[in-house]
């Protein structure tokens, strides 16, 4: 069996480590090269995953004919540069969320992939979680009637690293935590948002240069109302990831989705809370499906356009908070 050969472009994002783990586990995939502009991070990733071919210049990695696809997990603001270069080199790609930090960059990425004829998949892992996929089926079968309201949370603690740098991250909690549940709402309703209203609160951590809490309200074209609490509101001892909650109200029923409930919270004297998760491996499901998409020439479950629309919602939230009023979509 031929394996799909991957390179990873940067381990700046915390999810890169899990994606690398998945590629190493998959029988149908192989991790052959790593790029990072941080020498210490590059060395650590190389040693952790046993990858000898490492690069401090992504252009050199992309020259290799034996690499089929790349996973882009750099700082948000660097996605466009890496993705366009990957497309021009003929590499299929998974891009960490958000797709970019501006709609202009997102458009350039999508156009580059289309021109080159390569797959551009947005890393919306929640489209691959067993619980949220099951909900998709329940809704499609009409088991709760017509959807009226979807309320969601995506909490966590401040991730640290470059996430507090507005130039690299493109924003704070709104940019980081809006897109997952905004995308699920688009996926579940098959509809687009027409209006966004957001309130960004006073910073929980006053020293941050970016926001760490917000509430966002969405109005969809067909009338569904949505809400997102995307805050980095958890204590420093809390896990960074692990809260995607949805309440879905229909004309004939109600669904509660607590996607990461299959876990153990372990507290030991003198140590922070430890979160031991043993539920659905959505990272594994996503990358395994991406291999199938490439091999069978299919459309990704989460496309570059899906990434664009979720980014648009986050950017509209910033504009709404600044103006103090709802903002109409599309922005462009």
Phi-psi region of 315 (alpha: psi -120 to 50; beta: other; left: phi over 0): alpha
Q: How far, rounded to the nearest angstrom, does the alpha carbon of residue 208 sit from its chain's CA centroid?
A: 22
pLDDT at position 182 is: 98
Q: Which domains does the chain have, with CATH numbers?
A: 4-118 (3.40.50.720), 126-280+311-328 (3.30.360.10)
Angle between helices 130-140 and 173-189 (to 10 degrees): 40
What's the CA gap between 299 and 311, in Å, rounded? 20
Cβ–Cβ < 8 Å for 306, 178: no
State the distance between the two ends of the chain, measured CA to CA, in whole angstroms: 45
d(CA 197, CA 200): 10
Model pTM score? 0.95
pLDDT tens-digit readout, 256-275: 999 988 878 777 887 777 77
Q: What is the mean pLDDT of each run of 10 residues along the chain (332 residues)?
A: 94 98 98 98 98 98 98 98 98 98 98 98 97 96 97 95 98 97 98 98 95 98 98 84 91 93 80 79 97 98 98 98 98 90
Write the CB contacts of 38 (distance below 8 Å, at least 6 apart in sequence). 11, 12
Q: Which of 331, 323, 312, 320 is nearest to 101 (CA)?
A: 312
**Residue whose C-alpha is closest to residue 204's, from 246, 162, 167, 232:** 232
């Amino acid at each position: 069996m031929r394996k799909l050969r991957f390179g990873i472009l940067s381990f700046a994002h915390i999810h890169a480590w899990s994606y690398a783990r998945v590629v190493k586990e998959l029988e149908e995939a192989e991790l052959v090269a790593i790029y990072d502009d941080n020498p210490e991070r590059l060395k650590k990733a190389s040693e952790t995953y046993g990858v000898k071919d490492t690069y401090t210049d992504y252009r050199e990695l992309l020259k290799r004919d034996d690499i089929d696809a790349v996973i882009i997990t750099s700082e948000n603001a660097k996605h466009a540069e890496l993705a366009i270069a990957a497309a021009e080199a003929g590499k299929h790609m998974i891009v960490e969320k958000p797709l970019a930090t501006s709609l202009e960059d997102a458009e350039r990425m999508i156009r580059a992939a289309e021109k080159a004829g390569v797959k551009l998949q947005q890393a919306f892992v929640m489209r691959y979680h067993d619980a949220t996929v099951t909900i998709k089926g329940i809704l499609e079968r009409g088991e709760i009637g017509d959807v009226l309201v979807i309320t969601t949370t995506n909490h966590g603690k401040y991730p640290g690293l470059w996430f507090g740098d507005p130039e690299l991250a493109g924003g704070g909690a709104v940019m980081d935590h809006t897109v997952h549940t905004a995308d699920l709402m688009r996926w579940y309703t098959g509809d687009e948002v027409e209006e966004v209203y957001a309130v960004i609160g006073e910073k929980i951590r006053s020293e941050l240069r970016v926001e760490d809490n917000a509430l966002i309200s969405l109005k969809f074209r067909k009338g569904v109302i949505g809400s997102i609490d995307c805050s980095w509101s958890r204590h420093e001892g809390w896990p960074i990831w692990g809260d995607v909650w949805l309440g879905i109200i229909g004309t004939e029923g109600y669904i509660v989705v607590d996607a990461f409930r299959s876990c153990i919270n372990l507290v030991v004297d003198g140590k922070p809370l430890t979160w031991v998760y043993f539920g659905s491996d959505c990272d594994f499901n996503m990358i395994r499906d991406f291999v199938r998409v490439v091999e069978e020439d299919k459309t990704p479950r989460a496309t570059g356009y899906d990434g664009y629309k979720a980014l648009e919602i986050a950017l509209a939230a910033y504009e709404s908070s600044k103006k103090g009023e709802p903002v109409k979509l599309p922005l462009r």
